[in-house]
Amino acid sequence: MSVKITLPPISYTGWGALSHLLGEVERFNAKKILVITDPFLKDIGITNKVVDPLKEAGYTTEIYTDVVPEPPLAIGEKLVAYTRDNEFDLVIGIGGGSALDLSKLAGVIASQEGKVADYLNLTGTKKVTTKGIPTILIPTTSGTGSEVTNISVLSLETTKDVITHDYLLADVAIVDPALTISLPPKVTAATGVDALTHAVESYISKNASPVSDALALQAIRLISNSIRQAVSNGEDKQARTDMSYGSYLAGLAFFNAGVAGVHALAYPLGGQFHIAHGDSNAVLLPYVMGYIRPSCEKQMKDIYNAMGFSSVNLSQKEASYKCVAELKRLVEDVNIPSTLKGFNITEDALDNLTTAALEQKRILARSPMQLLKEDIYTIYKAAFDGV
């Protein structure tokens, strides 16, 4: 079987990578730059690390801060209307996945006809046809990998949906761990487990290849090794650097292999209960992996090894059970609730969650074990009860 591998054109990674911004901006000959960020990042001065050097170099910049976590469709529609009303020739997104995903809409969807809703995967009817405005993406969380994927995620009433097209891939990604030092422990934990989930799901995906496997395993190594330290001591440069590379590699892995059951079940938690994306993935990760374990014992043994454990005297089956237990322990160690009850979800919500998860057919299709309605309900129930 042959596979398509897509890699983003240019990335700068590692401590101090932001110093390459001006050189890249020059290439685009930009007259008016739209900087998309969230209001908190502007308040704490992170946005200025991008805007100040641009202003000093004589560029005209406009800062757009109408960004909220897990952005709903309406926020995307508003940004696209604003972008169309102004003549920008470069978009720079700086922030977590929420700001970066919206930046992709300003960069690409604003240059298409119609509304953002027309381009959604589940219900849209239009296809992206033109490349749009050049885009530079600069993550300030170590989680989503949005800077290297062709995906923009939006929150709907009952679930989440995506717009995907290769034109949504940023022209330049700048991944500087120094920008993540200010992340509080709770966000470090949620975004870090999000990145881990991307890597784990890519590795067990039906669309995995040797290329995505290599990316996923190294992401699992880095994140498993450093997430506890990044959460307990956010100023640890090495831990932040590992998390930054881990989320970047995991982004490349899942962009090429896709995510599966954890994400399909997590999207309704985001849509219906507004639980942060990383937390939604984290609470479900051990339960989905525990349920599908018989379909991917070999991969789970590899994941267990990449998490830093030896399986020398273990069968594949034994190692796969231990892998599930270690994933659960990791989630608990970084203080994320390990049951749906911990997020104040009541049992009567499980039916609606199941119905919404079933809509994510494209994502579910990548699971190594087919997940039907009763399977999905059973997993939600296990995550509810914590067993």
Interface positions with ligand NAD (CB under 6 A): 38, 40-41, 46, 69-70, 95-99, 101, 140-141, 143-146, 149, 151-153, 160, 179-180, 182-183, 187, 191, 194, 277-278
Whichever of 41 and 196 has its CB closer to ligand NAD, that residue is 41
Whichever of 101 and 375 has its CB closer to ligand NAD, that residue is 101
* Smallest distance from ligand NAD to CB 312, Å: 35
Whichever of 96 and 261 has its CB closer to ligand NAD, that residue is 96
Residues in the chain: 387
- What are the DSSP calls for 330-382, one per residue? HHHHTT--SSSGGGT--GGGHHHHHHHHHT-HHHHTTSSS---HHHHHHHHHH
Burial class from Cβ neighbours inside 10 Å (0-12, 13-18, 19+) for residue 346 reads: exposed
* Smallest distance from ligand NAD to CB 293, Å: 24
* Smallest distance from ligand NAD to CB 334, Å: 14
Report residue 355 CA to chain centroid gap: 23
The residues pairing with 93 across neighbouring beta strands, listed in sequence order, are 36, 137
Q: What residue type is 221 in one-letter code? A: R
* Smallest distance from ligand NAD to CB 294, Å: 27
Whichever of 8 and 278 has its CB closer to ligand NAD, that residue is 278
- 10 Å Cβ neighbour count for 225? 17
C-alpha 103/C-alpha 133 separation (Å) is: 10
Nearest to 175 by CA among 6, 7, 10: 10
* Smallest distance from ligand NAD to CB 69, Å: 3
* Smallest distance from ligand NAD to CB 298, Å: 26
Whichever of 134 and 258 has its CB closer to ligand NAD, that residue is 258
Q: Which residue is nearest to ligand NAD (CB)?
A: 96
HEC states along 161-209? EEEECHHHCCCEEEECHHHHCCCCHHHHHHHHHHHHHHHHHHHHCCCCC
Whichever of 243 and 289 has its CB closer to ligand NAD, that residue is 243
